Structure 1
């Protein structure tokens, strides 16, 4: 597992073997995906407690670069869910970068996790290939694995909704480099619709390489938007994936919790 960690994240430091063994013996879980006896993916979780309830804290999920986009990550998460249910857990949590569209789509749309908490600079300065440079802000994903919201995920979605002026939290445009920019953010708590759309770039890594100050601007403005609405009891309920290839933006969908389809 340690060698696969290095390949996936490009870091020399890995989780100590004795730590994973101790975690598994005390309510944690490690699962692996194998191809011809080669470990190509894994997930590592440990037991968590917030003072009120126990849950499974999913710390790492990774797939070898050669085998990504083949459904292995989803397979590992579904197996994690199955094993967690056997162990008596109702909730699995993890953190992810809210600007990484692929992760947002997978966690929120495909799995049915929800987001209610934004953590600024969660891991301080990170030096791996994906995270270096930007503040390590994270969304806390809550995956309520016994809920109807999760069980009916494939058929219960908000993809029929369309982002428009009435439900936007930010207006965006494309600059002379062909990159999306935030022109104006909209923070309001009066006469709002049932759902709000929060834009994020489809490819934040490309923006980091071409225009780092713009990537930082996306970080800070997304932070401001999500913190504002989370503090007013809105939460991320779905992920809207843009189908127009000329629009370099996807969206998180925020819910006020008033809709019948939002019961967890």
Structure 2
């Protein structure tokens, strides 16, 4: 497996086509022209190659505060983690200390990758981030997104805990949606929301609205999301407690 920054016209066009294929659309997800503009502005598209086959790609750009905004990422199974590390290496070598990106809160596998595998933290929930989307993966659904922040200067160990405490709301499938022990909040999402969408757009919409209600309320109270269990439960902690835990882990690692 090799990773390289792509800057030539055919290479960038190939990545644009790859993004469209992953998102099951004939329209541009990010056009060749847009990817060239990102490169020209100091950002980069990094491709993952297995021999000559393109098996993953990610595109990021620098923000005024010196952080990197990762606009998009897609990869074959098993390629996502080393691809993200390659993007981190590129960013750190240019002086970045953190990276941000968004993802669909209902996609539990992405949540687990971001929060547990990488150790990022969810800092923001935005309702209908993109507005209507017309690709084959998201068509017909509202585009709510969580923003994650990945600290590139150290590592955060994401723990896993069993949801406990009082049930505060029920999910569309009739099982508990949210619990709290007074300090932490747990919120459950579907195991496979893509399959839920295929079977019932109405049920997927109900899940979207239910999870939105929990997150928006929790973030207004000063929570951030710090973990995701294998069973599909987010764990949310108060910002101060999460920050103190991260600082303690950094100190212990010195």
Alignment partners' CA distance in 1, 2:114 and 2:177 = 27
Alignment partners' CA distance in 2, 1:230 and 1:107 = 18
TM superposition shift of 1:220 = 0.7
Residue 246 (structure 1) aligns with = none
Residue 68 (structure 2) aligns with = 56
Residue 6 (structure 1) aligns with = 20
Query: Which residues of 2 match residues 22-171 of structure 1 at below 5 A?
Result: 22-49=37-64, 53-63=65-75, 68-69=76-77, 71-149=78-156, 156-159=157-160, 161-166=161-166, 170-171=169-170
Tell me which of 254, 258, 262 is aligned to 2:236.
254
Task: Please give the per-residue CA displacement for 1:81-107, whole angstroms capped at 9, x wherever unaligned.
Answer: 111100111111111000011111111
Alignment partners' CA distance in 1, 2:16 and 2:236 = 37
Task: Please give the per-residue CA displacement for 1:7-56, whole angstroms capped at 9, x wherever unaligned.
Answer: 2111222223233223223231211111221212111112223xxx2321
Q: Does 1:219 align with 2:184?
A: no
Alignment partners' CA distance in 2, 1:210 and 1:17 = 34
Is the CA contact 2:49–2:55 (under 8 Å) kept in the aligned structure 1?
yes
Is the CA contact 1:185–1:221 (under 8 Å) kept in the aligned structure 2?
no
Q: Does 1:204 align with 2:218?
A: no
Q: Which deviates more, 9-18 or 223-232? A: 9-18
TM-score, normalised relative to structure 1: 0.80
Alignment partners' CA distance in 2, 1:145 and 1:232 = 27
Alignment partners' CA distance in 2, 1:84 and 1:218 = 36
TM-score, normalised relative to structure 2: 0.83
Alignment partners' CA distance in 1, 2:33 and 2:192 = 37
Residue 4 (structure 2) aligns with = none
Is the CA contact 1:182–1:218 (under 8 Å) kept in the aligned structure 2?
no
Residue 239 (structure 1) aligns with = 228
Q: Runs of 5+ in structure 1 lacking a partner? A: 150-155, 174-179, 243-249
Is the CA contact 1:119–1:137 (under 8 Å) kept in the aligned structure 2?
yes
What secondary structure, in the 3-state scheme, does the structure 2 residue paired with 1:19 have? Answer: helix
Alignment partners' CA distance in 2, 1:182 and 1:28 = 44
Alignment partners' CA distance in 2, 1:185 and 1:105 = 18
Provide the aligned C-alpha RMSD in A: 2.2
Structure that is richer in helix per residue: 2
Aligned residues: 231
What secondary structure, in the 3-state scheme, does the structure 2 residue paired with 1:108 have? Answer: helix
Inter-CA distance 234–11: structure 2 relative to 1 (3 Å threshold): same
What secondary structure, in the 3-state scheme, does the structure 2 residue paired with 1:43 have? Answer: strand
Alignment partners' CA distance in 2, 1:110 and 1:10 = 26
What secondary structure, in the 3-state scheme, does the structure 1 residue paired with 2:147 have? Answer: strand
Q: Does 1:192 align with 2:197?
A: no
Inter-CA distance 38–185: structure 2 relative to 1 (3 Å threshold): closer
Alignment partners' CA distance in 2, 1:106 and 1:198 = 17
Residue 18 (structure 1) aligns with = 33
